[in-house]
Amino acid sequence: MTDIPHPFPYQGSKRKLAARILAYLPARAERLVEPFAGSAAVTLAAARQQRARRFLLNDLHAPLTRLWHAILHAPEPLADDYEALWTQQQGQERAFFDRVRDDFNRSQEPHCLLYLLARCVKAAVRYNASGEFNNSPDNRRLGMRPAAMRRNLLATASLLHDNTEVQCRDYREVLAEARPGDVVYLDPPYQGVTESANHRYCQGLRRDDFAAALDDLNRRGIPFLVSYDGRTGDKVHGQPLPAELKLHRIELPVGRSSQATLLGKDEATVESLYLSASIHRCANLPP
């Protein structure tokens, strides 16, 4: 699915896994709900394949949801603003990044965030204790070229403009309002990344609260899929979801990690995908 638009890079994006995740979705859903939208890679892939009639993108990170709103409803002005920043940086890339970062921390403007994501290290959203975006630029690259960015923004808007709602709410509120006909895909942050010195997310994710929300979906018969934990070589990222939820766990190979490549190691990354019972039955998988 190489024709799927990619409006901005984002750490943890499921862009490379989207096709394999979609393989477990029902053939046609009324609505696909992403409570942790991020770069919305699964929604974009599902929209391209017409796997749902409507979509809901939610993220608690308010600047990100404002960026999504701009992408869907004002892609041309957003592309113009990004091009202006990209062009102005020439010859002063590091200092210019710092100025845009300062501007974003004051204004929260979507085009500033788009530029920062295009240029920052590992495309990671990180904030300091004062709530200021504090990631540094990746000085090896200047960000997506304006013409490519414009194509991606316009293609994304074409796919999602008429059938997608964008929200900025706690994931539990979104899940509580899920209804029959919905399919929910959840891609929360890995455990341990929300309480570090450089906060990557606006709010931590308590495992017990998350499990309780999934249990409620189970009781109401709302089908869902969860990307939750994983491993790189022998290093495990996070605890598995509780067995009491009766989810079917599948391992999806991601490939050799970039860090392993840099260190000359042969360590592959594998991510877990959990399927609710109703998804498991639809996919006709062995017990």
Q: How does residue 262 score in pLDDT terms, banded at 50, 70 and 90? A: very low
pLDDT tens readout for residues 74-88 = 999 999 999 999 999
Q: What's the pLDDT score for residue 198?
A: 41
What is the model's pLDDT at position 196? 44
Q: What is the pLDDT of residues 21-74, one digit of tens each?
A: 999 998 889 999 999 999 999 999 999 999 999 999 999 999 999 999 999 999
Please list, residue by residue across 147-172, b when 16 or more beta carbons sit within 10 angstroms of its beta carbon and e when fewer do: eebbbbbbbbbebbeeebebbbeebe
Mean predicted confidence (pLDDT) in 89-93? 95
pLDDT of res. 286 = 52
Residue 207's closest CA among 180, 238, 231? 238
Could you tell me the pLDDT band of residue 156, with boundaries at 50, 70 and 90? Answer: very high
pLDDT at 282 over 80: no
Give the distance between the most distant pair of CA atoms in the chain.
59
126/11 Cα distance (integer angstroms): 10
Cα 222 to Cα 277: distance, rounded to the nearest angstrom: 10
- Judged against a pLDDT cut of 70, whether residue 195 lies above it is answered with no
User: Which residue type, as a one-letter code, is found at position 82?
Assistant: Y
- Reported as a pLDDT band with limits 50, 70 and 90, residue 266 is low
Burial per residue of 220-235, b for 16 or more beta-carbon CB atoms within 10 angstroms, e otherwise? eebbbbbbbbbbbeee
Structure confidence at residue 193 (pLDDT): 40
Res. 263 pLDDT band, cuts 50 70 90: very low
Q: Which residue has the tokens 């594998």?
A: 270
- Residues with Cβ within 8 Å of 135's Cβ and at least 6 positions away in sequence, in order, are 116, 120, 121, 124, 125, 126, 198
H-helix or E-strand spanning residue 177: none
Q: How confident is the model at residue 239 (pLDDT cuts 50, 70, 90)?
A: confident
Phi, psi of 87 (to 5 degrees): -70, -40
Global pTM? 0.90
Pair of tokens at residue 27: 């053939």
Helix, strand, coil share of the chain (percent; to 5): 40, 20, 40
Beta bridge partners of 274: 226, 249
Question: Would you call 87 exposed, middle or buried from its count of C-beta atoms within 10 A (0-12, 13-18, 19+)?
Answer: exposed
Q: What is the mean pLDDT of residues 160-172?
A: 97
- pLDDT on residue 47: 97
Mean pLDDT of 185-196: 66
Q: What pLDDT is recorded for position 287?
A: 54
Q: Are strands 52-58 and 29-34 parallel, antiparallel or unpaired?
A: parallel
pLDDT, tens digit, 9 for 90 and up, residues 112-139 = 999 999 999 999 999 999 999 999 999 9
Q: Does the structure show a pLDDT above 80 at 1?
A: no
Q: Is 50 exposed, middle or buried (0-12, 13-18, 19+ CB in 10 A)?
A: exposed
Backbone φ, ψ for residue 57 (5° rounding): -105, 120
Select from 286, 287, 279 the least CA-distant residue to 26. 279
Confidence of residue 199 (pLDDT cuts 50, 70, 90): very low
